[in-house]
Structure 1
Amino acid sequence: MLQETFIRLLGHYPGHQALAGAYWEEIMTQYTAPQRHYHNLHHLRQLLEQLLQIRTAVRDWNAMLFTLYYHDIVYDPRQQDNEAQSALIASERLERLGVPAAVIQRCTGQIAATATHTLSADSDTNYFTDADLSILGQGREVYEQYYRAVRLEYDCYPDDIYILGRKKVLEHFLSMSRIFKTGYFHSRLEVQARDNIAGELEYLQG
């Protein structure tokens, strides 16, 4: 489903015949890198499933699909600018493809928003960042698989450093008045997400 959706998306733009194969190969290579235990193709599939549920509410579906494929194209736990670097790659690839500047701007703005997942004035951005966080509101077993996979991605850090950083992230989510900005995701996932996060914090505290 991921490849078919991507190739169909590129088909809307003039450069697709020359670029589609190389672009998909790049996405495959990046998202199947051995250190990607969570931010991989499975994450993209899960995210696409979430986005398809709210497609009719999305104003620029093509921009959102580009965001899906490129939002984690760069993912290095040792770096602090993954979102900015991912947005830069997206901008370069889409410009070569012949995507209109307005669509590129929406895509890169949505990618940048995944750095904080805070409320945006743009509804599409809120839908995307909510979908990106939807793993937080899944059942306890799925959530535990998620946070264990994230720990594997950060295995370059010792436990004490990782736990300190992870607790900061989780406490930030709990401090939000709403983790999920849109009514759709808030009504379905907010309660479970807060319960999951509290459970992980308890686990980290030993």
Structure 2
Amino acid sequence: MILKEKFEKICLNSTNDSNLIEKLWFEIEKKYSAKSRHYHNLQHLENMFREIENVKDKIENVNIISYSIFYHDVIYDVTSKSNEEKSAEVSKEKLELLDLNSEEILKVYEQILATKSHKKSDDEDTNFLLDADLSILGKGYEDYLEYIKQIRKEYSIYPDFLYKPGRKKVLEHFLELESIFKTGYFKDKYEVQARKNIEMELIVLGIKN
């Protein structure tokens, strides 16, 4: 599996303990393969890595951003409002086992926390992470429709009268941003289509102002 190989490769930069690496990968794979995960799954991670691959020459620390991708949604409970904080804590706990230095662990921690608000960061690597995370918003119409369905399935415990207003709030937050994407590369690639997709989804939800 490409993701597993990628995880092993970055871990080997700080440890030779293959059993530990295997254990950490198994934990990640199990979390992202949960039956409740229809969008925030291994495929989401694969897509993020494909996006990052296109800009790796612009990224200061590929290892750090890779760890952030692997752990940013490791905790994902649709009933919780602290998934990012919990995921960041898990990353800290696990990366300490790999003997990363405190500065590297803190950077991953902060990058994961940044995925909560998706505000532009002073750290450009963080901005690339945020943009890769949201890249689905700017994909083609068919891919976006599939994304909508997957998100709805993840929130299937909520009836429409609760889901739709909540989803509307999230979408309108993106539209209110000066720019959904923080980096020039992603802005040029996805911004226009992302806004069209979001407007379309608001119409589909049937609660467009």
TM-score, structure 2 normalization: 0.97
Counterpart mapping for 1:51-66 below 5 A: 51-66=52-67
- Identity, in percent, stands at 43
- Distance in 2 (CA, whole Å) between partners of 1:27 and 1:129 is 20
Which residues of structure 2 form unaligned runs of 5+? none
* One-letter identity of the residue aligned with 2:88: A
CA RMSD of aligned residues (A): 0.9
2:76 aligned counterpart, secondary structure: coil
- Distance in 1 (CA, whole Å) between partners of 2:201 and 2:19 is 46
* One-letter identity of the residue aligned with 1:93: K
1:114 aligned counterpart, secondary structure: helix
- Distance in 1 (CA, whole Å) between partners of 2:16 and 2:125 is 26
* One-letter identity of the residue aligned with 2:35: P
Deviation by residue 1:38-77 (Cα, 9 ceiling, x = unmatched): 0001101001000111111111111100001000000000
List structure 1 segments (4+ residues) > 6 angstroms apart after TM superposition. Answer: none
Which residues of structure 1 form unaligned runs of 5+? none
How far has the Cα of 1:14 moved from its partner?
A: 2.6
- Distance in 1 (CA, whole Å) between partners of 2:137 and 2:17 is 35
Task: Look up the match of 2:12.
Answer: 11
* One-letter identity of the residue aligned with 1:70: Y
Task: Look up the match of 1:68.
Answer: 69
Task: Look up the match of 2:50.
Answer: 49
* One-letter identity of the residue aligned with 2:27: E
How far has the Cα of 1:15 moved from its partner?
A: 5.8
* One-letter identity of the residue aligned with 2:63: N
* One-letter identity of the residue aligned with 1:205: G
Task: Look up the match of 1:174.
Answer: 175
Q: Is the 8 A contact 1:15 1:96 kept in 2?
A: no
